[in-house]
Amino acid sequence: MPKLGERVLRVRSKNAGPFWVTVDIFCGTPEVFGELKTGLRTETVAALFQQPSQLVKRFDIADLNVIKFSFPRPVVQGARADRDMHGAQWATLLAELDMRD
Amino acid sequence: MPTRVLVPTGALGITFDRAALARGIAAKPDIIAVDGGSTDSGPFSLGSGTSKYSRAATKSEWRDLMVARAEAGVPLVVGTSGTCGTDSTVDWMYDITREIAAELGQRIKVARLYSSQPADRVTKALAAGRVQPLSPAPPISAETLATMRNIVALAGAEQVQAALATGADIVIAGRTTDTAIISALPLARGEHAGAAWHGAKVGECGALCTTNPTGGVVLIEFDREGFTVEPLVEGAICTPDSVSAHMLYENSDPFILYEPGGHLDVTAARYDALDGRCVRVTGSRWVPGRYTVKLEGAALVGYQTSILAVLRDHRYVANAQRWVDELHAYLTDQIAKRMGLGAEAYALEFRLIGMNSALGDMENRQGEPVEVGVLGLITAPTAELAEEIGKLINPYVLHYPLTKDEELPTFAFPYSPAQSERGPFYEFALNHIMELADPMEAFRLEVSEVGYA
């Protein structure tokens, strides 16, 4: 089964301030963007990051062929239980997501 | 007259392209603006009131910018000095500036903009209903505010304008928004407000909005209708995509950006390629609102000691999670028995490097690692106690067996001693805004002449 990361240009994640993380999927083409716009459910992404889906903000940006998700960090940046100060490794979870054809 | 802002780099301390800077000076900017900080690296800088970057790196880059400023004859502004922008890091930056001015034989006027907030100011504002939580925000009270090591407010364009209005050659600002140091002059000169903030956001990370993000230097030209961004590093170009995509970066909402006194809305922005290298942006909108400044605070949570061991023995690697769970339970018991400390009096956590140390519970992959790193983190109310616990657990982290009837194993310790003090541990404790009647109400300006008379 192909991974999401193999279908798109790039997936990245980063803190948006100490209390949020934002994940950007650069789809690369309108075709892949269209496919993910309908095929990638917000609930799937929320489950991946163990977030209630009502807390996940989603932006489908056709002009850039980008799909963006932002959600509050379950652990505040740098708090005792934080494991990734910049939140940049979180993107791997989405890049490794199995895609159904 | 358009207003040209030269941005040498996204952060003072991570270097920039000197040839591109020279090109920028030749283009006759009206101001040079550089960001000196970020919350990116975590709460330690704010908690301790110290810079993340070395003094030597900061000084060598600041020196080049001071030379460039003298050549251009325009103001030079650094925002969020010394990573966190507390009064102590403004003074640190001021000290560096005085040293360089003396070395270069420059006589210059320096304005310092201070952003640190006494806890009682925030407490009074909280009581008066002028402090509101953003989402999500830690709960705060007069008590929690009093225990915070440092609180800063993020200055906006107005405070930077006040500093520039003193006629200063150099403005050393404490915590500001990333954008305020860039938008301040264009706004003061009446350029398009939406463009001023949008261009500032595009430029705040330096060349991250270009196709060559490592190079640094960009020039942004603001006018009455929009702005144009020009990369100055040899071979770098800006495209409508590279510029518009920058609104995605470190931003939870790619269309809206809140600033003191309103918000930027780029929903209707138009990005046009000019000559294949520069990009022109129009249609950005500034929506005025209440005058609020964002607060950042760091609280001391305790002191940490860490310990690192590596499991290479296959049986231990294969059973690492069970091993560490049993070890943890055993140590909790030993700490209680020998030190009289209940589990609530300290925190002990182990992370397995090679298994799930980056993602924790979110990790959904399993592999067969060759070795597993065992990172132990001890947090206690004092450094002495954290170190004492580290010493107590040290022999068990080295020798704890999976079964009772085997010869004691000895794992790999990379250091002697195996435990290391990590010092004070801080957490971000504020995600709030404070309403101000006057932008300068929570900020302070000091102006002085430095260098040779």
Average pLDDT, chain B: 96
Counting residues of chain A whose pLDDT is more than 90, the rounded percentage is: 96
CB spacing of B250 vs A59 below 8 angstroms: no
Expressed in angstroms, the distance from the first to the final Cα of chain B is: 35
Give the per-residue pLDDT at B10: 87
What lies within 8 Å, CB to CB, of B362 at 6+ separation is A48, A49, A50, A90, A93
Chain A environment of B239 (Cβ under 8 Å): none
CB spacing of A68 vs B254 below 8 angstroms: yes
Give the per-residue pLDDT at B390: 98
Q: Which helix (H) or strand (E) holds A92?
A: helix A91-95
- The candidate with the shortest Cα–Cα distance to B183, out of B206, B213, B203, is B203
Counting residues of chain B whose pLDDT is more than 70, the rounded percentage is: 100
CB atoms within 10 A of CB B265: 19
Dump pLDDT digits (tens) for B57-90: 999 999 999 999 999 999 999 999 999 999 999 9
Q: Residue B207 above 90 pLDDT?
A: no
CB atoms within 10 A of CB B214: 14
Dihedral angle over CA of B179, B180, B181, B184, nearest 10: 130
Q: Helix axis angle, B55-72 relative to B87-104, nearest 10°?
A: 60
**Number of CB pairs, chain A paired with chain B, less than 8 A apart:** 99
Average pLDDT over residues B398-421: 96
pLDDT band (50, 70, 90) for residue B453: low
Chain B environment of A15 (Cβ under 8 Å): 39-40, 250
Q: What secondary structure letter does DSSP report for B176?
A: B
Q: What are the structure tokens assigned to B222, written together?
A: 């603001």
Q: Where are the alpha helices (DSSP H) in B191-318?
A: 193-203, 240-244, 314-318
Q: Residue B95 above 80 pLDDT?
A: yes
Interface of B with A in 183-222 (CB under 8 A): none
pLDDT band (50, 70, 90) for residue B215: low
Counting residues of chain B whose pLDDT is more than 90, the rounded percentage is: 90
List domains and CATH numbers for chain B: 3-115+154-291+436-451 (no CATH), 299-429 (3.30.70)
User: Shortest CB distance from A57 goes to which of B136, B253, B360?
Assistant: B253
User: Which stretches of B215-360 are assigned E, i.e. beta strand?
Assistant: 218-222, 226-231, 256-259, 262-265, 270-274, 278-282, 285-288, 292-311, 347-353
Bond prior to B417 in cis (omega within 30° of 0): yes
Give the per-residue pLDDT at A100: 75
Chain A environment of B265 (Cβ under 8 Å): none
What are the two backbone dihedrals, phi and then psi, of residue B319, each rounded to the nearest 5 degrees?
Answer: -115, 30
Give the per-residue pLDDT at A60: 97
Dump pLDDT digits (tens) for A20-75: 999 999 999 999 999 999 999 999 999 999 999 999 999 999 999 999 999 999 99
Chain A environment of B243 (Cβ under 8 Å): none
Nearest residue on chain B to A15, alpha-carbon basis? B250
- As beta bridge partners, residue B31 has B5
Bond prior to B136 in cis (omega within 30° of 0): yes
Residue B99 Cα distances to B60, B63, B117, B366, angstroms: 12, 10, 27, 54
d(Cα B228, Cα B238) in Å, to the nearest integer? 10
Dump pLDDT digits (tens) for B313-348: 999 999 999 999 999 999 999 999 999 999 999 999
Chain A environment of B357 (Cβ under 8 Å): 83
Distance from CA of A86 to the nearest CA of B (A): 6
Q: Residue B212 above 90 pLDDT?
A: no
Average pLDDT over residues B208-223: 84
pTM of structure:
0.96
Interface of B with A in 126-145 (CB under 8 A): 134-138
Q: What are the structure tokens assigned to B322, written together?
A: 């069970």
Q: Which amino acid is at B258?
A: Y
Strands A57-61 and B292-311: unpaired
Give the per-residue pLDDT at B206: 75
Give the per-residue pLDDT at B352: 98
Average pLDDT over residues B405-422: 96
Asked if B35 and B204 count as a contact pair (C-beta separation under 8 A), the reply is yes
Give the per-residue pLDDT at B373: 98
Strand-by-strand arrangement of the A57-61 sheet: A10-15, A20-26, A66-72, A57-61
